[in-house]
Amino acid sequence: MNQVLTLAGLLLCTATPVAGKTIRVPVDAQTIQAAIDSASDDDVVLVSAGTYRERIVLKPRVTVKSDGDDAAGKLGLARAEATIIDGTIADTKANDVRSNRPGVTMAAAAVLDGFTVVGVGHYDEALWKKHHTTQGNQQHHEHIGAPGTPGIAIEGVDCIVRNNIVHHIGYTGIAIRATGNRQCSPLVFRNTCYRNMGGGIGSMAKSTGTIRGNMCFENFYAGIGNNDASPLIVDNTCYRNIRAGIGISDGSAPIVRDNRCHENRRAGIGVRTGSTTRPVIENNECYKNMMAGIGAEEHAAPVISKNRCYENKLAGIGCRDHARPTISENECYKNGTVGIGHEGDSVTTLIRNHCHDNQAAGMGFSQCESGQATLIGNRVTNNAKVAVGIHSGWSVIAIGNELTRDGGMPPVVMIFSGAKASFVGNTIRGEGVAGIRVAGELSAVKNTLTCPKPRKQGPPSIGVWALDGSKVTLSENTFEGWRSNHTKSGSKPR
């Protein structure tokens, strides 16, 4: 609610006509900073196209805007591409305070509209290429909240930063940080941030606000990063970043909605670092990322709902290292391994997801020491190998799921040695060697297991195939079409 009210207030400020004067650069003042220094509340500093070699500090309630209309350019507005704030300092000395100053420092209720910001800090092309090649695996585990000098700094103020292009900065492109007891709830809207040596946009230190409609690509860390921050992140496009498209860590609890994250070197959306990291991730499109579409790890506890994750190199959604996500109503398909994958002692709840046409399992549970999962009302259909594969160390409860596959030899469900599973009221349909093949422990109650086309020869066609050493308890199940309903290796089919 606070975010909505803040956004409404900021929009009202910009929509309401004001009586301030217009100061033109370079007609009325030679530099942008000189024009800002002469401005009063509600004045507009209007900057003509050109390159301005300075770093600027805004004043409260002053708008600094590039001259021109909102015609599109190649990466943003044409006026933003033509009006450049270049923070390069050729004569920097070790103690020169200017070298530690952001390209633009925002002020309360100020507006920055339509500039390219470059030349702040050192952009290292060789380092960028190295870590791009290794998918960030050799990067230091550095928090996005680490200190640095951004292209645009928003510190402890509510303001508007829109229509800007920020690139080749030695740190984060746009950095948002609450300071002391001051809230920081800016509107960061429709900016383009690329090839920065931090994140494209970084929200840190308990900042909130709205990050909307931005494009962030090829940044050294995440496209949009969150460290102990809880903004609204909506309708952004993040692609080809060295780490995640959107990264969430260290106690952050943002709402992440309606974003497109694709072709990032790691996850589309990555969540990590602690049980107080609790974002709500809903209705995003994550595709063709080099790891998972959405990943949760390191005890994080996100709510992941109604997303579409497809054609990612590994999982559509991946959980590992004690993550505790709630995953509901997502569609995960055509991923390189599994639709939803689990490993590393995660504790997960999966409700009404649809996992189909993945190249291995619909839902996979890799070997661990002690993982737990509850599956309720999911549809897992037509995956290349098994619908559900449960390896050693997992305890899985499956209730009311539809688990099916047309053709193929593998079982629909495989429970490996050292795994425990309770299946209640599921529909299991397939034409492979078994509906459920068990090497671990299974309790199956009131399930319907159907084989549309029993195998005419070769491997068996068994509803529940219990291997040697398994422990199986069956009650009130319905078997249809299998050559035998259930059997244990070495025993006669029944």
Which pLDDT value is given to residue 125? 82
Domain ranges of the chain: 1-242, 367-494
Q: Give CA torsion, residues 428, 429, 434, 440, to 10 deg.
A: -20
Residue 185: pLDDT band with limits 50, 70, 90 = very high
| Percent of the residues in the chain that have a pLDDT greater than 90, as a whole number | 82
Q: Give CA torsion, residues 80, 82, 87, 91, to 10 deg.
A: 180
- Cβ pair 160, 181 in contact under 8 A: no
144 pLDDT above the threshold of 80: no
Fold topology of 1-242: Pectate Lyase C-like (2.160.20)
19-28, 413-422, 439-448, 449-458: which range is least confident on average? 449-458
99 pLDDT above the threshold of 80: no
Per-residue pLDDT tens over the stretch 296-353: 999 999 999 999 999 999 999 999 999 999 999 999 999 999 999 999 999 999 999 9
Per-residue pLDDT tens over the stretch 13-52: 444 445 699 999 999 999 999 999 999 999 999 999 999 9
Which string of DSSP letters, residue by residue, matches 60-71?
Answer: TT-EEEESS---
Which pLDDT value is given to residue 137? 66
136-140, 318-322, 458-462, 489-493: which range is least confident on average? 489-493
Distances (CA, A) of 457 to 139, 289, 428, 460: 54, 41, 21, 8
CB atoms closer than 10 angstroms to residue 246: 34
pTM: 0.92
Which string of DSSP letters, residue by residue, matches 466-492?
Answer: EPTT-EEEEES-EEES-SEEEEETTS-
393/126 Cα distance (integer angstroms): 43
Distances (CA, A) of 223 to 31, 172, 240, 336, 426: 32, 10, 8, 23, 41
Which residues are CB-neighbours of 266 under 8 A, at least 6 positions away?
A: 135, 136, 242, 243, 244, 289, 290, 291, 295
Residue 490: pLDDT band with limits 50, 70, 90 = very low
- Cβ pair 348, 370 in contact under 8 A: no
